[in-house]
Structures are given as structure tokens and as C-alpha cells.
């Protein structure tokens, strides 16, 4: 009996400190994303994480990876709790995903895709039909503006991918702009929000490139969670994102991202991407 009492005392001691119960560790939220535009990405994500941690009431960590596929794999295997992805993978895996929030750019939850070329007098690329025999830079295999749009527009223009000299993935829209600026590619398929934000920030790659085509508007890349996710701070995260535009510290962070705020959004916002994906046989999105 003495031994049993001693064991109980030891167990009790592990939950007591200075006479008070030790609080269980709060479950943190892990948010995955591909590289952001900013030159000081690590410092910015650290500031954003601290802001959200204070507002949400639990630790928030950002996890950056090079591709949407890696981020999605981590989300589906529950290594992360939320992810900032693109509209194309959202419609492709819609049955397994739930919307958390949609960023707003220039007051709208939408953006455009651009086709860009080097800013030089002898360029021969004036549109998608001019890409035969040329080098085209993509962003990511699961990017709407950085891959899917290009497939759809080349098909509309009667251009087959096999007719291009070469294509390659730069793994990031900023990298697409830099590849085109360095004339490693004759053209690049890029997120218009990213190109515009790089221009606003005075990045050299934008001064050395120019837009030759702009798409219709698409639903802005959303923040999502795995369908069925019941993280206790999921709703608090949503509300913290929605409230950023009304908070001075939140506005400062939004300004750094060149965003207006966040809105709940809806699946209907991605119908134009869904329709486009259905026109591209290799998209993985059925009719």
C-alpha cells in the first residue's frame, strides 16, 4: 500500500507546480505554403506567425516548401493543419478540401494570369501563338496561372507543347519572372498578382520583363484545410484572418503582402478554373 501511495504521489507531482495544476500544452496550428514574394520571407513569416499566435490564442507556425504537391501531401497526411494553395489544386482535390479563407487583392478575391516576355527590342513573342520554337517557363505543375492557363491558351492558339523548343518549371512565380528577365526563357506563364507586387516592390526582374497577354479573372489562391479537420483553433484562425484588415498591425502585414484582407469566399469563385481544367486532358479534373 505504501508503494502504491508513493506512485500516486509521484504521478500527482507531475501535474502540480507551486500548488497549481500544470496546463496541458495548447495544440498549435501549422500552415503550409510555397515561397512568398517577399525578399525577407523568413522574417515576414515569423512576424505573421507571432501576430496570428497572439490573435488566435495558440502557437502558429508557417511551413514553407517548394511545391504545391509537397504542401498537399503534408496536409493530407496531417503534418500540417492548413495550407495556402492555388485554385487549380483546390478544384482538383475539392472533395478532400475545405475553404478557410480567400485573400483579397485590390479589394477583390480574384487575380489574373499573365504571359510575360523579356523587355528587349528584338523579342518575337507577342502572344501564345508565337511560342513555337521558343522556351517557356512555368511555375509549378499544380499552378493555375503557372501551368494550367498555358496549356489551355496554347491549345486555343493551335500550339502543341511538343512544338516549343523547351519548357521548364521555375518552382515559384518570382522565379519565373527572374528566368524570363535573365533570358533563360523567351516567355513565362505567371501569376499577375505576383508580377504586379514585384513591380510595386521595385524588383529588377519586373523592370526587365513586360506583359504581352492577360487572362480573365480567377478566384484568388485560397487557404484551405483537409475536409473533416476539427482542430480546436480552426475557426479562431479564420476569424483572425478576417479581422486583419481592421487591425493596424494586421494592416501592416497585409500591406507587405500587397493584399486588402481575407474573405470567407465560396467554391463558386473557382468555377472558371474548373471549366478551364476540364478543357485540359492532363489536368486531372474530369467533366
Q: Give the whole-number percent of the chain exceeding pLDDT 90.
A: 83
* Average pLDDT value for residue range 23-43: 77
Residue with cell 485590390: 106
Secondary structure of residue 219 in the 3-state scheme: strand
Helix or strand (DSSP H, E) at 79: none
Q: How far are the Cα atoms of 27, 72, 121 from residue 124, in angstroms, in the given order? A: 55, 38, 9
Beta bridge partners of 16: 21
* DSSP 8-class letter at 145: I
Question: From residue 280, how far is each of 133, 136, 151, 153, 172 by CA, in Å?
Answer: 22, 18, 7, 10, 22
Look at residue 41 in the predicted model and tell me its pLDDT: 83
Confidence of residue 39 (pLDDT cuts 50, 70, 90): low
pLDDT at 95: 95
Q: Identify the sign of the CA torsion 39, 172, 222, 53.
A: negative
Quick check: 19 pLDDT over 60?
no
pLDDT band at 150 (very low <50, low <70, confident <90, very high): very high
Of residues 190 and 19, more confidently modeled? 190
Per-residue pLDDT reduced to its tens digit, 204-226: 999 999 999 999 999 999 999 99
Q: Which residue has the higher pLDDT, 144 or 287?
A: 144
Q: For residue 212, what are the CA distances in angstroms to 41, 123, 127, 130?
A: 29, 11, 6, 11
> pLDDT value at position 153?
98
In angstroms, rounded to a whole number, what is the distance separating the alpha carbons of residues 124 and 131? Answer: 9
Q: What percent of the chain has pLDDT over 70?
A: 90
Rounded mean pLDDT, 89-117: 97
Amino acid 120: pLDDT:
84
Q: Which comes out higher in pLDDT, residue 37 or 17?
A: 37
Residue with cell 508565337: 130
Residue 18 reports pLDDT greater than 60: no
Is the pLDDT confidence value at 26 over 80? no
Phi-psi domain of 265 (left: phi exceeds 0; alpha: psi -120 through 50; beta: other): left
**Do 195 and 206 form a contact (C-beta atoms < 8 A)?**
yes
- The domains found in the chain, sorted by start residue, are 29-108+220-283 (3.40.190.10), 111-219 (3.40.190.10)
Separation between Cα atoms, residue 287 and residue 280, nearest integer Å: 10
**The pLDDT of residue 12:** 35
Average pLDDT over residues 69-96: 96
Q: Is the pLDDT of residue 60 over 50?
A: yes
pLDDT in tens, 155-174: 999 999 999 999 999 999 99
Q: Which residues contact 80 (CB under 8 A, 6 or more apart)?
A: 30, 31, 32, 63, 71, 74
Amino acid at each position: 500500500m505504501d508503494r502504491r501511495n508513493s506512485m500516486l504521489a509521484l504521478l500527482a507531482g507531475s501535474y502540480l507546480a507551486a500548488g497549481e495544476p500544470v496546463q496541458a500544452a495548447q495544440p498549435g496550428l501549422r500552415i503550409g505554403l510555397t515561397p512568398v514574394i517577399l525578399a525577407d520571407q523568413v522574417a515576414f513569416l515569423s512576424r505573421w506567425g507571432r501576430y496570428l499566435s497572439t490573435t488566435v490564442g495558440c502557437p502558429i507556425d508557417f511551413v514553407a516548401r517548394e511545391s504545391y504537391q509537397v504542401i498537399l501531401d503534408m496536409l493530407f497526411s496531417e503534418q500540417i493543419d492548413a495550407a495556402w494553395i492555388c485554385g487549380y489544386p483546390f478544384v482538383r482535390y475539392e472533395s478532400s478540401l475545405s475553404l478557410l479563407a480567400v485573400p483579397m487583392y485590390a479589394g477583390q478575391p480574384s487575380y489574373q494570369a499573365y504571359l510575360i516576355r523579356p523587355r528587349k527590342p528584338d523579342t518575337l513573342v507577342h502572344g501564345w501563338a508565337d511560342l513555337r520554337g521558343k522556351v517557356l517557363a512555368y511555375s509549378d505543375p499544380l499552378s493555375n496561372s503557372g501551368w494550367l492557363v498555358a496549356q489551355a491558351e496554347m491549345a486555343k492558339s493551335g500550339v502543341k507543347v511538343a512544338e516549343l523548343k523547351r519548357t521548364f518549371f521555375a518552382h515559384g512565380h518570382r522565379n519565373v519572372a527572374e528566368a524570363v528577365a535573365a533570358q533563360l526563357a523567351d516567355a513565362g506563364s505567371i501569376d499577375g498578382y505576383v508580377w504586379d507586387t514585384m513591380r510595386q516592390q521595385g524588383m529588377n526582374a519586373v523592370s526587365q520583363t513586360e506583359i504581352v497577354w492577360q487572362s480573365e479573372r480567377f478566384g484568388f489562391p485560397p487557404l484551405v484545410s483537409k475536409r473533416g479537420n476539427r482542430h480546436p483553433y480552426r475557426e479562431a484562425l479564420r476569424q483572425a484572418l478576417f479581422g486583419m484588415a481592421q487591425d493596424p498591425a494586421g494592416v501592416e502585414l497585409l500591406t507587405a503582402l500587397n493584399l486588402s484582407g481575407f474573405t470567407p469566399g465560396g467554391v463558386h469563385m473557382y468555377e472558371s478554373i474548373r471549366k478551364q481544367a476540364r478543357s485540359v486532358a492532363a489536368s486531372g479534373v474530369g467533366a
